[in-house]
């Protein structure tokens, strides 16, 4: 399920045709299905039954305010990694006491702001960071709630660039330094240990990877108790994998059963920070075919108006997103082609040698499962602008973010006065 489907051969979401949205808002265009985001959030809670875990939506997956607000209305907290994401979560209606602040590079300014609004906890990545948080808390006259992010040294079965729980990754405090971290919490003052935290990576579908990490976290938890600490919250991270093409999506019921078994004797309040799992399948990127280009040796290219500036994941992670027609042509033959964008890079390729629906110039197509790490990674490269974003929820269409063209991109730029076109200039000198 994704919230998207065909009606009379037109791709729709909640009864709204995507070709109608493209005509109204232009292409490329991100379209999100509100019902699918809501369904996935509730399915995660239902898998655990009572007591339900705390869920902190990882804004890095999709920080668009309308998406965050939808999840906040359902009761989700927020996992943020910058002061910008913190402010977005607050504006979208997430209470500060439902926000956890993660990330390896929190600045003093970000720490001060988080203390000022009263967040639930800092997920602390280093002993050196503990010192900075303690100093900030002491200066503010408050006690900072901290959870130690521990590195369980588990290599998740996922892409190398999104694996975060190995010994040599930059994330977390090494397990063999746990005692040093606990000593620092005691010695520094102005800190309150409220929990432990781990995160082994993104797009993880192997249950065994999670279990190995969580067993290690259970050992760390027991050690903290033996040391006399009483952490309350065990945040087990996110990373639940989804199906893009033919992957086996994580079995939520089996996942929840494993977590309950591993943590049964810990007396811990469980927390998770899913991002991709909640929003990836709820997004489609609508794009228009600029032209069908023939190459040598019978090769064919479908050139879209969306490129790596619009959706970076294929160029960055070798990710694959399926392509479907916005309006199906049932009687025409399929084609085999590379699907590419207009950007001046050889890495600007979405699909290679793919069997595609019949397409001609100006057709509308949609790239699937782009709700996570899609629009948020869009860039200004080639001055092509950034796509608009639309949410369809309960039949209501909302333009969450308008498209940004080159005029908007250049609006805050300045040309030095002496270089303004038409200004007097010194003539080039002869050598």
Domain assignment present for residue 428? The answer is: no
344 is catalytic: yes
Structure tokens at 312: 């970076």
Among the three residues 232, 262, 279, which one is the final residue of a domain in this structure? 279
272 touches 263 (CB < 8 A): no
Beta-carbon contacts of 250 under 8 Å, excluding residues fewer than 6 positions away, are: 204, 205, 207, 240, 241, 242, 277
Q: Among 77, 137, 75, 143, which Cα is nearest to 106's?
A: 137
What one-character-per-residue DSSP string does 236-279 give?
Answer: ----B---SSS-----HHHHHHHHHHHHTTS--EEEE--SHHHH
Among the three residues 262, 279, 296, which one is the final residue of a domain in this structure? 279
Residue 429 has pLDDT above 90, yes or no: no
Domain assignment present for residue 104? The answer is: yes
Same domain, 377 and 267: no
3-class DSSP assignment, residue 210? helix
Same domain, 216 and 365: no
The whole-angstrom separation of Cα 106 and Cα 109 is 8
Domain assignment present for residue 329? The answer is: yes
Same domain, 266 and 366: no
Host H or E run for residue 368: strand 364-368
CATH at residue 406:
2.40.37.10
Structure tokens at 299: 């090769």
172 touches 201 (CB < 8 A): no
Domain assignment present for residue 348? The answer is: yes
Position 185 scores a pLDDT of 96
Cα–Cα distances (Å) from 412 to 200, 259, 298, in that order, read 39, 50, 46
Position 217 scores a pLDDT of 92
Domain assignment present for residue 289? The answer is: yes
Report pLDDT digits (tens) over 295-342: 777 789 999 999 999 999 999 989 999 999 999 987 778 899 999 999
Same domain, 94 and 150: yes
Same domain, 69 and 9: no
Same domain, 215 and 363: no
Mean pLDDT of 385-390: 96
Domain that holds residue 144: 34-279
Structure tokens at 304: 């879209």
Q: 19-55 b/e with 16+ CB inside 10 Å = b?
A: bebbeebbbbbbbbbbbbbbbbbeebbebbeeeebbb
Position 248 scores a pLDDT of 81
428 — pLDDT class (breaks 50, 70, 90): low
Per residue, the 3-state secondary structure of 168-188, as one string, reads: CCCCCEEHHHHHHHHHHHHHH
- How much of the chain exceeds pLDDT 90, in percent? 78
Neighbours of 376 (CB within 10 A): 16
Domain assignment present for residue 416? The answer is: no
Q: Among 291, 287, 283, 324, which Cα is nearest to 26's?
A: 287
Report pLDDT digits (tens) over 146-186: 999 988 765 554 445 445 544 455 567 887 889 999 999 99
Scan for tokens 């948080």, then name that residue: 133
Domain assignment present for residue 431? The answer is: no
Catalytic residue among 198, 224, 300, 344: 344
Same domain, 220 and 314: no
Report pLDDT digits (tens) over 240-265: 888 888 888 888 999 999 999 999 99
CATH at residue 235:
3.20.20.10
Domain assignment present for residue 320? The answer is: yes
pTM: 0.92
58 touches 103 (CB < 8 A): no
Among the three residues 254, 279, 304, which one is the final residue of a domain in this structure? 279
Length of the chain: 431
How many domains, the chain?
Answer: 2
Position 427 scores a pLDDT of 52
Beta-carbon contacts of 422 under 8 Å, excluding residues fewer than 6 positions away, are: none
Same domain, 271 and 298: no
Q: Among 332, 311, 296, which Cα is nearest to 377's?
A: 311
Position 141 scores a pLDDT of 97
Whether omega for the bond prior to residue 417 falls within 30 degrees of 0, making it cis, is no
Mean pLDDT of 260-286: 96
Q: Among 295, 292, 316, 291, which Cα is nearest to 377's?
A: 316
Report pLDDT digits (tens) over 82-137: 999 999 999 999 999 999 999 999 999 999 999 999 999 999 999 999 999 999 99
Position 165 scores a pLDDT of 43
Same domain, 373 and 266: no
Is beta strand 335-340 parallel, antiparallel or unpaired with respect to 349-356? antiparallel
Host H or E run for residue 58: strand 54-58
Same domain, 74 and 164: yes
Structure tokens at 280: 């990836």
Q: Among 27, 29, 57, 25, which Cα is nearest to 41's?
A: 57
Beta-carbon contacts of 84 under 8 Å, excluding residues fewer than 6 positions away, are: 63
Position 430 scores a pLDDT of 53
Same domain, 293 and 382: yes
Same domain, 183 and 212: yes
Average pLDDT over all residues of the chain: 91
């Amino acid at each position: 399920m994704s919230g998207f489907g065909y009606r009379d051969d037109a791709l729709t979401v909640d009864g709204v045709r995507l070709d109608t949205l493209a005509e109204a808002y232009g292409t490329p265009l991100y379209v999100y299905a509100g019902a699918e985001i809501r369904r996935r959030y509730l399915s995660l809670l239902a898998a655990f039954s009572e007591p339900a875990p705390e869920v902190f939506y990882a804004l890095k997956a999709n920080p668009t305010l309308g998406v965050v607000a939808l999840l906040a209305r359902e009761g989700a907290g927020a996992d943020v990694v910058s002061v910008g994401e913190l402010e977005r979560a607050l504006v979208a209606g997430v209470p500060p006491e439902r926000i956890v602040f993660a990330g390896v590079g929190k600045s003093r300014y970000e720490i001060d702001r988080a203390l000022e609004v009263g967040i639930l906890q800092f997920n602390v990545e280093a002993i050196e960071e503990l010192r900075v948080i303690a100093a900030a808390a002491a200066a503010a006259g408050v006690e900072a709630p901290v959870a130690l992010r521990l590195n369980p040294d588990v290599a998740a079965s996922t892409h190398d660039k999104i694996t975060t729980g190995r010994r040599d990754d930059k994330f977390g405090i090494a397990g063999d330094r746990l005692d040093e971290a606990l000593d620092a919490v005691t010695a520094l003052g102005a800190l309150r240990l409220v929990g432990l935290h781990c995160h082994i990576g993104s797009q993880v579908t192997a249950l065994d990877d999670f279990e190995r990490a969580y067993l290690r976290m259970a050992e760390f938890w027991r050690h903290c108790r033996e040391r006399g600490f009483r952490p309350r919250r065990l945040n087990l991270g996110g990373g639940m994998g989804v199906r893009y093409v033919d992957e086996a999506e994580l079995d939520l019921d089996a996942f929840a059963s494993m977590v309950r078994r591993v943590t049964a004797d810990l007396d811990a309040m469980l927390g998770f920070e899913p991002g991709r799992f909640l929003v990836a399948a709820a997004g489609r990127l609508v794009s228009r075919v600029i032209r069908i280009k023939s190459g040598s040796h019978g090769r064919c290219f479908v050139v879209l108006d969306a490129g790596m500036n619009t959706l970076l994941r294929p160029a960055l992670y070798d990710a694959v997103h399926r392509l479907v027609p916005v309006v199906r042509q049932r009687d025409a033959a399929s084609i085999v082609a590379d699907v590419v964008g207009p950007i001046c890079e050889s890495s600007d390729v979405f699909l290679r040698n793919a069997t595609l629906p019949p397409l001609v110039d100006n057709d509308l197509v949609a790239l699937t499962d782009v709700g996570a790490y899609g629009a948020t990674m869009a860039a200004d490269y080639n001055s092509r602008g950034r796509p608009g974003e639309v949410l369809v929820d309960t039949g209501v269409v909302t333009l969450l973010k308008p498209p940004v063209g080159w005029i908007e991109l250049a609006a805050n730029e300045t040309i030095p006065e002496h270089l303004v076109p038409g200004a007097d200039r010194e003539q080039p000198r002869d050598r």
